[in-house]
């Protein structure tokens, strides 16, 4: 459980914070800080992770640090199906991906992909449900707070280079559909279980088939030996162990696309009539301080990103949103899809302060105070819920 949550709980119990409206969701947080790391990710930094379950691990808010990039051993995990056997990493260059919906469809090995082109992109990888723990209607699913997100660097071949090498898209292609290499448990209908996601073909020039994460071969937990990367789209659209990439006329009929990861109103079932969870929105959150500080000048730091757009600016409030000051971005700008770290020198007298941040993207979209809830609890970017209350002494 993060320090922030501890603090919120403490205040809730003392009954002093209800007026801020910040903390309604705190009571349903059930992160199990003391759960051990699952075997397949025993190389993760235990100090940095909150283990919700075998397939859901969150980065602690105080573990993001100042590196801009999130190290792989601190990066969150969210698997819809357990990973395949790790033997698929025995010969990474031999992994095969079938490219379909092009003029000359064929199967290519990773080794062959590596001759077709190379690029590197830095982007926020964020679970669709990051922030779910802040929704007041208590959606089912992991109650992520801020840590189902990280800023990582992928290296691979641009999908455009692969498609061009195979004669270009077939006629009538509207979607890029990626199929994951997870093993479907016996007795289950593949359509109900498999990870197959479709995204609009208009993003084809940014999609990558990646073999490296932060410069190292991608671990099994994060989709190695090959992952389909869709910058600016939520995590589920970045298909792990990708075994088929198809340019298709229609979206896949897999349940994970047809009924799940939809933005339906609270109380409804998801279906094709509801928007898919695709592009990410503008968001920011404070990473320090989170619990206490010494009175005087305090460097308030955090991260901000624009999702599908670049982030343009960010403001910080140290009075729960009553007033705002422009913060400065610090460190390198790693591109449109990356997050930026920011800092504001704030003068804080002794006492309790609610600190939060509000980002604006390059299209002028401003992080809202609150969000309209959706049944599954996706895309929460409300600045009020993301605030922290600290005690200055």
Q: Which residue has the tokens 């448990």?
A: 185
Binding flag, residue 116, its own copies (CB under 8 A): yes
Which listed residue (17, 81, 88, 153) binds its own copies by CB under 8 A? 153
Nearer to its own copies, 126 or 214 (CB): 214
Q: Which residue has the tokens 């898209």?
A: 169
CB of 362 to its own copies, least distance (A): 16
Site for its own copies in 337-356 (CB under 8 A): 338, 341, 343, 345
Nearer to its own copies, 54 or 109 (CB): 109
Q: Considering only 20-28, 50-58, 324-332, 379-387, which stretch makes contact with its own copies by CB under 8 A?
A: 324-332
**Three-state secondary structure along the chain?**
CCHHHHHHHHHHHHCCCHHHCCCHHHHHCCCCCCCCCCHHHCCCCCCCEEEEECCEEEECHHHCCCCCCCCHHHCCEECCCCCCCHHHHCCHHHCEEEEECECCCEEEEHHHHHHHCCEEEEEEEECCCCCHHHCCCCCCCCCCCCCCEEEEEEEEEEHHHHHHHCCCECCCCCEEEEECCCCCCCCCCHHHHCCEEEEEHHHCCCCEEEEEECCEECCHHHCCCCEEECCCECHHHCCCCCCEEEEECCCCCCHHHHCCCECCCCCCCCCCCCCECCECCCEEEEEECCCEECCEEEEEEEEEECCCCCEEEEEEECCCCCCCEECEEECCCCCCCCCEEEEEEEEECCEEEEEEEEEEECCCCECCCCCCCCCCCCCCCCCCCCCEEEEEC
Nearer to its own copies, 118 or 366 (CB): 118
Nearer to its own copies, 129 or 147 (CB): 147
Per-residue x/- mask for its own copies, residues 281 to 310, rule CB under 8 A? -------------x-xxxx-x---------
Q: Considering only 49-57, 113-121, 133-141, 278-286, which stretch makes contact with its own copies by CB under 8 A?
A: 113-121
CB of 330 to its own copies, least distance (A): 5
CB of 49 to its own copies, least distance (A): 16
Per-residue x/- mask for its own copies, residues 154 to 193, rule CB under 8 A? -x--------------------------------------
Nearer to its own copies, 117 or 275 (CB): 117
Distances (CA, A) of 111 to 10, 92, 115, 156, 166: 54, 8, 7, 11, 16
Site for its own copies in 43-102 (CB under 8 A): 65-69, 71
Nearer to its own copies, 172 or 215 (CB): 215
Which listed residue (214, 237, 257, 381) binds its own copies by CB under 8 A? 214
Nearer to its own copies, 153 or 173 (CB): 153
Which listed residue (92, 114, 160, 258) binds its own copies by CB under 8 A? 114
Nearer to its own copies, 66 or 107 (CB): 66
For its own copies, the binding residues (CB under 8 A) are 65-69, 71, 114-122, 153, 155, 212, 214-216, 294, 296-299, 301, 330-335, 338, 341, 343, 345
């Amino acid at each position: 459980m993060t320090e922030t949550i501890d603090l919120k709980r403490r205040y809730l119990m003392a009954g002093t914070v209800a007026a801020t409206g910040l903390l309604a969701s705190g009571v349903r947080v059930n992160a199990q800080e003391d759960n051990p790391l699952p075997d397949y990710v025993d190389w993760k930094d235990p100090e940095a992770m909150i283990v919700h379950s075998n397939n859901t691990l969150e980065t602690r808010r105080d573990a993001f640090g100042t590196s801009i990039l999130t190290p792989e051993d601190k990066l969150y995990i969210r698997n819809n199906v357990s990973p395949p056997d790790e033997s698929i990493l025995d010969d990474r260059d031999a992994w095969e991906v079938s490219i379909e919906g092009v003029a000359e469809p064929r199967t290519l090995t990773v080794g062959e992909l590596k001759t077709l082109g190379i690029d590197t992109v830095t982007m926020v990888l964020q679970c669709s449900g990051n922030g779910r723990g802040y929704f007041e209607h208590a959606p089912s699913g992991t109650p992520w707070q801020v840590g189902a997100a990280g800023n990582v660097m992928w290296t691979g071949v641009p999908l455009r280079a692969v498609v061009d090498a195979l004669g270009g898209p077939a006629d009538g292609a509207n979607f890029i559909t990626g199929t994951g290499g997870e093993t479907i448990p016996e007795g289950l209908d593949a359509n109900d279980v498999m990870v197959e996601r479709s995204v609009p073909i208009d993003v084809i020039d940014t999609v990558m088939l990646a073999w490296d994460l932060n410069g190292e071969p991608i671990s099994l937990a994060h989709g190695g030996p090959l992952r389909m990367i869709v910058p600016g789209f939520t995590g589920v659209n970045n298909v792990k162990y990708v075994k088929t990439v198809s340019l298709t006329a229609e979206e896949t009929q897999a349940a994970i696309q047809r009924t799940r990861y939809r933005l339906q109103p609270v109380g409804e079932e998801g279906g094709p009539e509801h928007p898919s969870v695709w592009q990410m929105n503008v968001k920011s959150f404070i990473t320090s301080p989170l619990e206490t500080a010494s009175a005087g000048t305090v460097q308030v730091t955090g991260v901000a990103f624009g999702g599908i757009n670049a982030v343009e600016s960010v403001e910080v409030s140290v009075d729960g949103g009553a007033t705002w000051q422009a913060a400065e971005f610090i460190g390198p700008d790693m591109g449109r899809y990356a997050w930026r770290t920011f800092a504001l020198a704030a003068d804080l007298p002794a006492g309790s302060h609610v600190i939060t941040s509000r980002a604006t993207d390059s299209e002028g979209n401003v992080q809202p105070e609150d969000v309209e809830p959706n049944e599954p609890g996706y895309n929460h970017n409300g600045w009020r819920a993301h605030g922290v209350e600290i005690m200055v002494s």
